[in-house]
Amino acid sequence: MTRLTQALLPTSTDQMRRKVFILHGLGGIGKTQISVEFTRKYQGSYSAVFWIDGSSKERLRRSIADLASRLPQHQLSEGSRNYSRNGTANVDEVVEDVLKWLSQPSNNQWLLTFDNVDREFSVPLRDPEAFDLGTDMKLEPVNEAQGESILENSLGRLTEELVNLLQGLPLTINQAGSYMRKTGTNVSEYIELYNQAWARLMEKQHLSTLREDADRSILTTWTLSFNSLRLQSEDAANLLMLWAFLDNRDLWYELLTPALDLAIADEVPHWFARCAGDKLEFKECIGLLLEYSFIDTKNGSSSFSMHSVLHHWCFHTFEENKATMSWLALIIVASTVPSETVLHYSLIQRRLLPHCDHVYSMLQRYLQDAFKNREYLPSLSGACNQLGLLYSDQGKMKEAEDMYLRALAGKEKAWGPEHKQTLDTRYNLGLLYKERSMFGKAVQQFKYVVQGYTKLLGPEHSETVEALNQLENCEVD
């Protein structure tokens, strides 16, 4: 913390100099937690404090654009102001506008934190050249005294052997303390259980899957805690596993509930129906996850987050039920996509977008076989159509087209090419092609839709007339 304050706190002599501090180290070492504490403690020293998700180029782009809502609106372009209000603007133009605001010579008292940066950028943070950007500090595992302090906060007892066993990682030390407190286990018992768990894991996994000793510490500690959690509550354990198929940074109760309003509500697992259908049950599950230090609460909100390292292990440790969990995650996100009639619908869509991206990455890997099953086709196709709507509204046209094409193929198999549901997706696809100035493809879709709507609804129906108008507009263009 001292190095951070020396490097980043504003002084009267260097107000015009931009300062950069790079905090790096193993996953679970405490980089984000230290940054959060610095921000909390010194936010009053800055004119504005911003937190950016740097885990991917797309998230970085969206996260910067989202800053527009927190900037003085009279200093932004009309497009950025529209984006702040309803999300209707070119994201790249908004990003450029925000960066211009940050670059104003008189605007030099802000603090900007880029969290979780090292995956998709041209100069990876594991490359020494990256540290030419500014001052850097590598966080090392904690020593015995520091580990004792962490464990005493959650338990009050410690041995040097346990700190060494856990590789000095604050994440694993904290979780071990939570486990011992929750289960009444003493240190010597925990060490014995830890070694037993590691031996069992190695019977099931190849050592090559673990990059370093720190991975052993995280995986084994996580497994012990998870097994105890599962014995105490299957629902809480299942919620944690489901979370691995959603984004790790933002889970809230209302994200889950719309899935129960669908016609397929009776197809969802019973544990999910209990969790999403009863807020008290949800809170009880969340309470257990908090007690075991699997998740954190986000200050001042009813939202929860999971450390990215734990999120990674949740996904990769359990091979069973990945298709079911992928399907359920897809249904959850799709059912929460708001229509344009919902107040602040675009802002809700932007909150859903990280979950949508996570689900999108799962489709190719875990749901290909499900698309071959007629039983799942209606729900999968409808969900893909909803994700297409969200992606289209948020300007991600390539992903939107992919979702619409998947939805169209599934609906044609499930209901036939002339079914209303199938034609509706064709109409959405036509609008997408029109938006992208691909008028030939748009005309092809709208012709089919006009013909189908005329047959189903009649030539005077409002949807038929609107489809005909779209067709004529594309033919003129």
Calculate the average pLDDT of the chain.
82
Reported as a single tens digit per residue, the pLDDT across 408-418 is: 999 999 999 99
In the three-class reduction of DSSP (H, G, I as helix; E, B as strand; rest coil), residue 140 is classed as coil
Written as six digits, the tokens of 248 are: 């790790």
Question: Which of 157, 145, 200, 151 shows the shortest CA–CA distance to 172?
Answer: 151
Q: How far apart are CA 259 and CA 254, in angstroms?
A: 10
pTM: 0.76
Residue 189 pLDDT greater than 90, yes or no: no
Report the C-alpha gap between 442 and 458 in whole angstroms. 22
Phi first, then psi: give them for residue 51, nearest 5 degrees: -125, 125
Q: Tell me the percentage of the chain whose pLDDT exceeds 90.
A: 36
Predicted pLDDT at 207: 44
- What is the separation of C-alpha 247 from the centre of its chain, rounded to a whole number of angstroms? 2
Beta-strand pair 296-297/48-53 = unpaired
Taking residue 273's Cβ as centre, other Cβ atoms within 10 Å add up to: 16
State the average pLDDT over residues 439-468: 96
pLDDT greater at residue 232 or residue 132: 232
Whether residue 214 is predicted with pLDDT greater than 80 in this model: the reply is no
Residue 41 vs residue 436, higher pLDDT? 436
**Alpha-carbon distances, residue 315 vs 242, 310, 457 (angstroms):** 9, 9, 46
Token pair for 222: 């996580």
Find the mean pLDDT for residues 300-312: 85
| pLDDT given for residue 385 in this prediction | 96
Q: What is the spatial distance between Cα 146 and Cα 247, in angstroms, rounded to a whole number?
A: 31
Give the list of residues 6+ apart from residue 357 with CB closer than 8 angstroms, or none: 58, 247
User: pLDDT grade, residue 309 (50/70/90)?
Assistant: confident
Q: Which pLDDT score is estimated for 124?
A: 45
Q: Could you tell me the two tokens for 334? A: 């799709």
Q: Provide the greatest CA pair distance for the chain.
A: 80
Spell 320-338 as b/e; 16+ CB within 10 A means b: eebbbbbbbbbbbbbbbbb
The predicted structure's pLDDT at residue 358? 92
| CATH annotation of 417-477 | 1.25.40
The reported pLDDT for the residue numbered 299 is 67
Domain boundaries, given as residue ranges, for the chain: 2-138, 144-232, 234-265+289-305+318-415, 417-477
Backbone angles phi, psi at 377, to 5 degrees: -55, -45
**239-263 burial by CB neighbour count: b if 16+ within 10 A, else e?**
bbbbbbbbbbbbbeeebbbbbbebe
Better-scored residue on pLDDT, 406 or 59: 406
